[in-house]
Amino acid sequence: MTSISNTQKQPVLKLINVCKRFGGVVAANEISFELYAGEIFGLIGPNGSGKTTLINLITGIYSVDSGSIVLDGKNIVRMPIHNRARVGIVRTFQHPRLLGRCDIRANISLGKDLADKRKIPDTDKYQERMGVLLEAAGLTNVDLSDSIEKLSYGQQKMLEIVRALLSKPKVLLLDEPAAGLNRKEMSYIINLIDFAVKEDICVLLIEHAMDLVMSICQRLTVLNFGQQIASGIPSEIQENPAVIKAYLGGSRNAEN
């Protein structure tokens, strides 16, 4: 499968000239890229460059000003948020948004509920799939009837990805999954992304941890002030002078 080049495959998700402004601030200007099944696509850029906005546009939390978002050949820009989830676009949040006052099982079940709404048939394998996912996330020895507050921050982030993957999405949007996690937990994130890739899910990864992005993403695009300043494979991006300038400039400002 991997030997087939991108030009022969149909993209799963395609952004064409997506624009969004908030008052005078341009959060996304003519953004275009394509995601293919089983691919890990990185979206990087300094703070405030419009990465999370882009995820919000894809999931429908914000509506686009112009441009189109195409899933499997169908333009979804007019689709409400919940229907986008039901056609297979699932995301996680920078800070995990779980049912704070329910047990872990109820939280995970929401993923299963979405799979049911998506009319994904293999419900009998649900338990097995959940077991595999929980193991990949390092959550095997957690009591599912415990409340969510008993989990660490990292475990909560993991749980959110598990929940998303249980719904068998077509596109998984990860918003800074590794932020605030230690090395060990980072490896679980990689396990979960691997699981997604094996199921031919395309993964859009927003991340600040450069080593993680450079090591697992096949392709990247770099945003700065809502502009797409570079796209390509990781080795090209690392050499790109515009990217280096944006990052060094950005980090210097941030430090001072």
Positions that interact with another protein (CB under 8 A): 59-61, 80-83, 85-86, 90-91, 93, 97-102, 106, 109-111, 113-114, 116-118, 147, 163, 167
Annotate 57-78 with b (16+ C-beta within 10 A) or e (fewer).
Answer: bbbbebebeebbbbbeeeebbe
Q: Which is nearer to another protein, 201 or 220 (CB)?
A: 201
Q: Which is nearer to another protein, 32 or 147 (CB)?
A: 147
CA distance 161 to 163: 5
Give the three-class secondary structure for 177.
coil
DSSP state of 143: -
Q: For 228, what's the count of Cα atoms within 13 Å in the CB-facing half-sphere?
A: 17
Q: Shortest approach of another protein to residue 85 CB, angstroms?
A: 4
CA distance 174 to 167: 15
Contact by Cβ (8 Å): 222, 44: yes
Strand ranges, E, within the chain: 13-22, 25-35, 40-44, 66-71, 74-75, 89-91, 171-175, 202-206, 219-224, 227-232
CA distance 173 to 181: 18
